[in-house]
Structure 1
Amino acid sequence: MTGDTQKKIIDDLKEQGVDLLEFIYVDYTGLPRGKTVFLSEVAHHLEDGIGITKAMPASTMRDEIVSVYGMNAVGEYRLIPDLKSLRILPYAPTVATLMCNYYDQDNNRLDFDPRVALQKIVNEYSKMGYEIKMTYENEFILYQQAETGELEPYNPEICFSTEAMDNLYRYLPSLIKNLRNVGINPVEYYPEAGAGQHELPISPTDPLTAGDNEILLKRVVKKFFADNNLYATFAPKPNLETASNGAHVHLSLWKNGVNVFYDQQDKLELSKIGYYFVGGILKHMNSLLALTCPSVNSYQRLQPGHWSSAYAIFGKDNREAAVRIPSTFAGDRKNSMNIELKASDATANPYMAFAGILSAGLDGIIKKIMPPAEVDVQPETLTEKQIMKKKIARLPLNLSEALQALKNDSVMINAFSDLGIEVYSKVKQADVDYFSKKTAEEIAMIYRDMY
């Protein structure tokens, strides 16, 4: 970056009234962290980044530092910003925010950084001529403070209730404006089945932008409702008495402007490339779950019969399957074909989840892995003999099982490096150990307040 480029960026921000510039990264817990620099002092930081202690990648959601060689109180990494991610916060117009990548002191990107890993796997697809479109489909629950001081679901209504819609319309226009101001394009809104639950799907983009959007969306939504004396949580199971929050991933693969997941002749409208991609996902499903459902709270959600995708299967519009093939739109079947990973929630680091999904899918494409036959029934309604015949398997029952699969998966190790898998696994195991001493209600409440 030239000095003239830096000066132009700084001058443009000054003209827009910006005084502060955030340098943000997302840790292994899926939580954004960062530092803020005064614009008057930013100077070389746009190119050289800012220092961050080497201990931070090994930090848990409780700020404990797990033991990893080299990640301690000695030394620094660099957080170098991606200028394409620059946004001005709609609720704090004097503050601009930037997403950063981890670098070492010699200006080398660090492979353990999930955002770096995502860029690497996207580049692998690009070499093969593929363009990827991805997005999250988030559910969240709104709470209000009761007279007792406790939090309770806000305006709990039935699924798709017009009363719930009418109530939220007082907030929705301003919320949508805030999201669009940071480049996020919501495409639908509806109340969901949980008490006080809502869903706000957004349009797909390239994977890196989609990861940035996921972080920004949660931040904007939570801040917006906090300013209106409500509390939004994206935690998978914040309330044991009602439906859970998913953060489903939708993706499609394109070449020369054509959706290569679509095949008009197939009964599912899914192409061979699409089947291979699904095959890769299902082959790596157990290890992938440690990335897409990476919290103790995730496994309070992943239960049979709750439409939360508790089985390592795929099927056409099967909402009990880990992978769903959604129906296409009659007026645009080719372009609307996509694959949905339902076994996913908002406690994930989105870059790590996306990189894991794409790595598994690419393994399927390269090795031409066909998935088992699609399942078009709810597995919990079948007999044990029928389940065995259809080769239906439950997903890992807890985070420890998923982590063990992750540590033994060479494709995931290649995606995130030996160091990345080591640190990630230790951070997550620290959570497993901590929450083993908590009740189910305590676990749900802690994640409700954190996510």
Structure 2
Amino acid sequence: MFADRMGEGGATRAEELAGRLRLDGVHGVVLPYVDTAGVTRIKTVPVARLPRAARWGVGMSPVFDVFLSDDSITATDRLGGPDGDLRLVPDLDRLTVLAAQPGWAWAPVDRYTQAGQAWPGCQRGFLRAMTERADAAGLGFTMAIEVEWALGRAGTDEFVAACAGPAYGATRLVELSDYARDLLSALDAQGVEVEQLHPEYADAQFELSVAARDPVGAADDSLLVRQTIRAVSHRHGLRPSFAPSVLAGRVGNGGHVHLSATRDGRNLFTGGPGPHGLTAEAEACAAGILDLLPALLAIGAPSVASYLRLVPSHWAGVFACWGHETREAALRLITGNAGAEDSAANLEVKCVDLAASPYLLLGALIGAALDGRRRELRLPPPVTGDPARFAADDLAGRGIRRLPTSLDEAADAFAAAPPLREALGDLLADAVLAVRRAEAQRLRGASDEEVAAALRWIY
């Protein structure tokens, strides 16, 4: 129970933290979580109420588990009505003073029932449970989520690019040098380890990569990075979009996941007898993800706009295949430079985006990996080059499937994937399916341009 977990020592710590926050000039604490549609929802408390929030939580209705991205509500047999309440309990270990929002701190929450039991629809709790399931099998996962965003001018719902330079061009950084500096400074002050920041392909698009860490920490980092990008952008008169499709017909924003697994401290994605140095255990984990990839799109590409991004020959990974350093494959095995394989070798999942809840996505990927390990799956032959060059018969002969081309198809695949339902549990799996079906229905018949415009500033 959440009150018990605080105890006398925890209550004392919360009081001490509140005192330090006051000395730092902090007046309020943001308590965020991500709903099933991938939208970050929050409550805030004054610093003086932080100890009480940490001991007893802050109220929030369970109906948000079936909110859609436009704030309308769908339902399952257990969710969607006006009854009930949950408690948002901040994780004090992740309490962070927000460098780009003076006077504010931030702490992600776990959700509990009023009786103090873990809420089965809590996505952060789900990711923690999947991490613990992997730990019990002797596997330690490390993960990271790349963040891509298109930077527009504030004051309009249209997208007006904030800079004019070419893809990956140095001129973009020159135009937005102060902005990029302030972003790096804020993330550093918040303890986020940035590995790269660079201009990307699409108009005014940037990408930021952070260091890999434990799965819950990686999901928290993804949330904090986006909070910081929004705040820094606002201070510069800019507006970021993390949507999968900002402008229809153009390259969209991905949210690629990098993952590796260790046993007894050894990276299992290198030094093995399998293809490109995979150990049998890592190969089985990768094969499990590959096998469930169509169903995983309902979690990792959860928006109607996601399927405007998933276009062949755009490095979005729209075919269910894998390859060594092959950027058109949905799964890209990265082995790293010679001599650095032990720290660098990992699997990149390319077909997912930032409309996804990071907690749901990372937990589902671990669940798929563990399912592949349980079944001792093996990978098919790797792909080189662009799979789109093959005719349909050739693709079928090579065992390569086109991933779902719509949210409806992804939802159908998810509904037919028992391993994912077992991992998520009935309440959370039903919420995912209901929200995906309703999102698909509400934008049915809309043009690509209308879909992009409707979701441009949601994520």
TM norm. shorter chain > 0.5: yes
1:423 counterpart residue number? 431
Structure 1 residue 121 displacement after superposition: 0.6
Q: What pairs with 1:7-406 in structure 2 (closer than 5 Å)?
A: 7-71=15-79, 72-144=81-153, 150-263=158-271, 266-406=274-414
Query: Does residue 411 of structure 2 align to residue 439 of structure 1?
Result: no
Work out whether residues 156 and 197 of structure 1, in 8 Å CA contact, stay in contact via their aligned partners in 2: no
CA displacement, residues 259-292 of structure 1 (integer Å, 9 cap, x when unaligned): 1111265552222222111110011111111111
Work out whether residues 135 and 203 of structure 1, in 8 Å CA contact, stay in contact via their aligned partners in 2: yes
Distance in 2, matches of 1:288 and 1:7, equals: 42
> TM-score by structure 2 length?
0.94
Superposed structure 1 runs of 4+ greater than 6 Å apart:
none
Work out whether residues 249 and 308 of structure 2, in 8 Å CA contact, stay in contact via their aligned partners in 1: no
Distance in 1, matches of 2:43 and 2:450, equals: 31
Distance in 1, matches of 2:56 and 2:184, equals: 34
| C-alpha spacing 1:187/1:149, structure 2 compared with 1 (3 Å) | closer
| C-alpha spacing 1:145/1:208, structure 2 compared with 1 (3 Å) | closer
Amino acid aligned to 2:432: Y
Work out whether residues 47 and 81 of structure 1, in 8 Å CA contact, stay in contact via their aligned partners in 2: no
Distance in 2, matches of 1:190 and 1:6, equals: 38
Structure 1 residue 136 displacement after superposition: 0.7
Work out whether residues 244 and 253 of structure 2, in 8 Å CA contact, stay in contact via their aligned partners in 1: yes
Structure 1 residue 318 displacement after superposition: 1.3
SS at match of 2:299: helix
Amino acid aligned to 1:227: R
The answer for unaligned runs of 5 or more in structure 1 is none
Distance in 1, matches of 2:84 and 2:235, equals: 39
Structure 1 residue 15 displacement after superposition: 2.2
The answer for unaligned runs of 5 or more in structure 2 is 1-5
Structure 1 residue 382 displacement after superposition: 1.5
Distance in 1, matches of 2:396 and 2:268, equals: 32
Structural RMSD (CA) = 1.8
Structure 1 residue 170 displacement after superposition: 2.8
Structure 1 residue 226 displacement after superposition: 2.0
CA displacement, residues 26-71 of structure 1 (integer Å, 9 cap, x when unaligned): 1112121121112223442211111112322121122212123443
Work out whether residues 30 and 348 of structure 1, in 8 Å CA contact, stay in contact via their aligned partners in 2: yes
Work out whether residues 146 and 256 of structure 2, in 8 Å CA contact, stay in contact via their aligned partners in 1: yes
Amino acid aligned to 2:149: F
Distance in 2, matches of 1:378 and 1:264, equals: 27
Distance in 2, matches of 1:197 and 1:9, equals: 38
Structure 1 residue 184 displacement after superposition: 1.4
> TM-score by structure 1 length?
0.95
Amino acid aligned to 2:405: L
Distance in 1, matches of 2:218 and 2:419, equals: 23
Distance in 2, matches of 1:214 and 1:37, equals: 22
| C-alpha spacing 1:43/1:264, structure 2 compared with 1 (3 Å) | closer
Distance in 2, matches of 1:164 and 1:38, equals: 39
Work out whether residues 261 and 337 of structure 1, in 8 Å CA contact, stay in contact via their aligned partners in 2: yes
| C-alpha spacing 1:389/1:341, structure 2 compared with 1 (3 Å) | same
Structure 1 residue 228 displacement after superposition: 0.9
Q: Percent identity?
A: 28
Distance in 1, matches of 2:26 and 2:166, equals: 43
- Count residues with an aligned counterpart: 450
| C-alpha spacing 1:430/1:17, structure 2 compared with 1 (3 Å) | same
Distance in 1, matches of 2:221 and 2:159, equals: 28
Work out whether residues 235 and 448 of structure 1, in 8 Å CA contact, stay in contact via their aligned partners in 2: yes
